[in-house]
């Protein structure tokens, strides 16, 4: 509980400066004063005023040359020297769909049947997951809750990492359908004893199945209502054909990515996104020409092959950025739910290997929002966007300085306490540690 008090202490002391003693909540006008604003679009305002009201950002401005009437704000946070960021977005993750990886009953992300466009991750999203609070406390305020496995896994939704229930937390329901595009190269054996990988003998079969499903679904969706018997799977595909939803094509090797993109063209998919994209850096001009965004695999990963550059995974963002491929970072992989809190540090690593800090920030904020189709709402500190904001003591992307001291979702302050902090406080007390 001491952590809680500490946070409150920060707030109380700041609020004391303002002339208004009400706690911050939506419906009040809040001013973040004198922070270093990292807009999310590449820009930085060294000394900024950020104002939000009713959950929306009203103003983002350089403090220089502006005089504010401090009386008109319900809450003022004086954050000089602190850093302000748009909410970080963690795409393509089972965060909220799993508690303990090894405990099967705690998993809700993988349905049987192979072709399940109709299953929706949204309703399984557990806002009471013990993991969520450890993620939001590092500045990750949105997550794309994503079903996995099978050929068509289902639809994902974008939710806040804090909420009373999924209905309360949702930012965008059913943003897109996820397809595990057939892999032309099959990895054989298992991870400790890999067999020689080879041609996926089921590739043709899987591609035919995928193609025919898309053809049938497309024909169903184009037909007038009532022309066919209702088919819930086909119905679920309507959005990807009419462009209301993204089609997320999970593919990693250069050839598979090209095949996946060609597949999306063939079926006239309006908003295709490649998820994974480990080899994307090898085919940047193809991706750029076809305007294909990449939701890039966890870059804290080993190179695929022994001959690869030892830092190729760290360097991939820089290679994509250099060739103007739109990408964002994500955390799919081992322990991805708990690892979601380290997403800012993936961005940090990409800085060490060639992208600018603001570009790196963009790859976990605005670019993610663009790719997910929510950039009208979130992703940057801009007027009229939702006031989902993170304030950090120092550079959010570096482990040694990342310290979130305040955060807001829809303008409402985020409870920055998690069970891990409580245990920390409890045992500090036990041992009498400071």
Minimum CB separation of residue 264 from another protein in Å reads: 20
Minimum CB separation of residue 416 from another protein in Å reads: 14
Q: Which two tokens stand for residue 433?
A: 């540690």
Residues 6+ positions from 289 with CB-CB distance below 8 Å:
none
Nearer to another protein, 288 or 300 (CB): 300
Minimum CB separation of residue 263 from another protein in Å reads: 18
In what side-by-side order are the strands of the sheet with 327-329?
88-93, 140-145, 152-160, 170-180, 246-251, 272-276, 294-296, 327-329
Minimum CB separation of residue 138 from another protein in Å reads: 9
Query: Which parts of 104-169 are beta strand (E)?
Result: 140-145, 152-160
Nearer to another protein, 315 or 385 (CB): 315
∠ at Cα 346 (345, 352), nearest 5°?
85
SS3 26: coil
Residues 6+ positions from 52 with CB-CB distance below 8 Å:
29, 30, 58, 387, 389, 408, 411
Residues 6+ positions from 262 with CB-CB distance below 8 Å:
none
Nearer to another protein, 76 or 338 (CB): 338
Nearer to another protein, 255 or 370 (CB): 255
Minimum CB separation of residue 222 from another protein in Å reads: 36
Nearer to another protein, 144 or 421 (CB): 421
Q: Got the DSSP string for 194-262?
A: EEEEEE-TTHHHHHHHHHHHHHHHHHHHHSPTTSS---HHHHHHHHHHHTSSEEEEEE-SHHHHHHHHH
Minimum CB separation of residue 82 from another protein in Å reads: 16
Minimum CB separation of residue 194 from another protein in Å reads: 5
Residues making contact with another protein (CB under 8 A): 99-103, 130-131, 185, 187, 189-199, 253-255, 282, 300-307, 309-311, 334-335, 337-338, 341-342, 345, 348-349, 351-353, 397-400, 402-403, 420-421, 423-424, 427-428, 431, 433
Closest CA to 39 of 324, 328, 357: 357
SS3 394: coil
Nearer to another protein, 59 or 254 (CB): 254
Nearer to another protein, 382 or 393 (CB): 393
Rounded distance between C-alpha atoms, residue 388 and residue 374, angstroms: 13
Q: Which residue matches tokens 């504010």?
A: 68
Rounded distance between C-alpha atoms, residue 381 and residue 305, angstroms: 40
SS3 37: strand
Closest CA to 418 of 130, 96, 46: 130
Nearer to another protein, 102 or 112 (CB): 102
Helix axes 203-222, 254-266, angle to 10 degrees: 20
Minimum CB separation of residue 361 from another protein in Å reads: 13
Nearer to another protein, 245 or 330 (CB): 330
Minimum CB separation of residue 59 from another protein in Å reads: 31
What is the b/e burial string over 119-146, where b = at least 16 CB atoms within 10 angstroms of the residue's CB? bbbbebbbbebebbbbbbbbbbbbbbbb
Minimum CB separation of residue 245 from another protein in Å reads: 30
Q: Which two tokens stand for residue 321?
A: 């950025």
């Amino acid at each position: 509980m001491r952590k809680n008090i500490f946070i409150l202490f920060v707030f109380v002391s700041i609020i004391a400066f303002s002339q208004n003693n009400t706690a911050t909540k939506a419906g009040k006008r809040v001013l973040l004063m004198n922070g270093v604003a990292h807009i999310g679009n590449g820009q930085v305002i060294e000394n900024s005023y950020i104002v939000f009201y009713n959950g929306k950002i009203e103003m983002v401005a350089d403090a220089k040359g502006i005089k504010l009437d401090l009386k008109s704000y319900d809450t003022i946070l004086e954050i000089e020297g602190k850093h302000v960021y748009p909410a970080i977005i963690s795409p393509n993750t089972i965060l909220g769909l799993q508690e303990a990886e090894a405990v099967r009953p705690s998993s809700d992300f993988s349905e049987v049947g192979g072709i399940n466009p109709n299953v929706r991750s949204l309703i399984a999203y557990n806002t009471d997951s013990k993991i969520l609070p450890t993620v939001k406390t590092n500045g990750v305020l949105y997550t794309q809750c994503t079903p996995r496995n099978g050929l068509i896994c289902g639809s994902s939704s974008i939710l806040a990492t804090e909420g009373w229930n999924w209905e309360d937390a949702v930012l965008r329901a059913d943003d897109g359908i996820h397809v595990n595009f057939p892999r032309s190269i099959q990895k054989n054996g298992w991870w400790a004893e890999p067999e020689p990988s080879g041609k996926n003998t089921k590739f043709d079969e899987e591609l035919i199945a995928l193609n025919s499903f898309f053809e049938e679904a497309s024909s169903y969706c184009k037909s007038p209502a009532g022309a066919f018997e209702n088919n819930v799977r086909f119905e679920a595909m309507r959005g990807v054909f009419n462009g209301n939803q993204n089609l997320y094509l999970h593919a990693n090797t250069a050839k598979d990515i090209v095949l996946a993109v060609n597949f999306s063209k063939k079926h006239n998919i309006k908003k295709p996104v490649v998820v994974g994209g480990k080899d994307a850096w090898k085919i940047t001009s193809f991706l750029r020409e076809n305007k294909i965004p990449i939701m890039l695999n966890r870059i804290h990963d080993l190179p695929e092959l022994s001959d690869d550059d030892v830092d190729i995974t760290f360097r991939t963002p820089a290679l994509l950025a250099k060739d103007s491929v739109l990408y964002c970072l994500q955390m799919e992989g081992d322990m991805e739910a708990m690892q979601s809190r380290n997403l800012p540090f993936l961005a940090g690593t990409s800085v060490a290997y060639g992208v600018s800090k603001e570009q790196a920030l963009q790859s976990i904020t605005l670019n993610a929002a663009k790719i997910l189709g929510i950039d009208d709402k979130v992703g940057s500190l801009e007027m009229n966007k939702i006031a989902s904001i993170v304030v950090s003591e120092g550079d959010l992307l570096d482990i040694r300085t990342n310290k979130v001291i305040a955060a807001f979702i829809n303008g409402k302050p985020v409870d920055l306490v998690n069970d891990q902090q409580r245990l920390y406080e409890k045992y500090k007390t036990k041992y009498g540690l400071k």
